[in-house]
Amino acid sequence: MARVPVAEGVFTWSDDPQLIGSRCSACGIVTFPVQDSCPRCGSTDMAERLLPRRGRLWAWTTQEFPPPSPPYAGPTGDAFVPFGVGYVELAGEVKVETRLTEANALRIGMDMELVLVPFRTDDGGNEVVTFAFRPVG
Ligand SMILES: [Zn+2]
């Protein structure tokens, strides 16, 4: 069974994955995911930027039921397992909306790190992998 990313251009494909964002060369704002133009100043001079693997939990909640589909393409019905969702602030420069590996035992400000986790199995039998953040330590 092969492992495949849920989408291209979202994270690097390695043992130490990083999210792929973009940085505005004009005003310095960092975005995730990559954007073609700056949401603050409108510049189109955006450069790809690999984001730090660690950050701090900024806000979170628990997803107790499957989100609307589409865009959600994960397990539904009895196969659905509640998961945490939240924002992780990376290096004080960008907040990333993300799945969390925990649905409990979370607290604001705790250290989090990026991991790749199984998401679903596609029609070809491949394991589709997405990104999440987990508590450090
Ligand atoms: Zn800008």
pLDDT bracket for residue 20 (50, 70, 90): very high
| Contacts (Cβ under 8 Å, ≥6 apart) of 28 | none
Determine contact, residues 134/102, Cβ cutoff 8 Å. Answer: yes
Flag whether pLDDT at 75 surpasses 90. no
Ligand 1 centroid to 27 CA: how many Å?
Answer: 4
Determine contact, residues 51/21, Cβ cutoff 8 Å. Answer: yes
Please give the Cα distance from 60 to 71 (Å, whole number).
20
Q: What is the per-residue pLDDT for 36?
A: 96
Ligand 1 centroid to 6 CA: how many Å?
Answer: 28
Q: What is the mean pLDDT of residues 32-38?
A: 96
Q: What is the per-residue pLDDT for 55?
A: 97
- Per-residue model confidence as pLDDT tens digits over 78-126: 989 888 999 999 988 899 999 999 988 899 999 999 999 998 899 999 9
Ligand 1 centroid to 96 CA: how many Å?
Answer: 18
- Per-residue model confidence as pLDDT tens digits over 41-65: 999 999 999 999 999 999 999 999 8
Q: What is the per-residue pLDDT for 52?
A: 96
User: Which backbone phi and psi does 78 adopt, to 5 degrees?
Assistant: -65, -20
Determine contact, residues 34/24, Cβ cutoff 8 Å. Answer: no
Ligand 1 centroid to 54 CA: how many Å?
Answer: 24
Ligand 1 centroid to 31 CA: how many Å?
Answer: 10
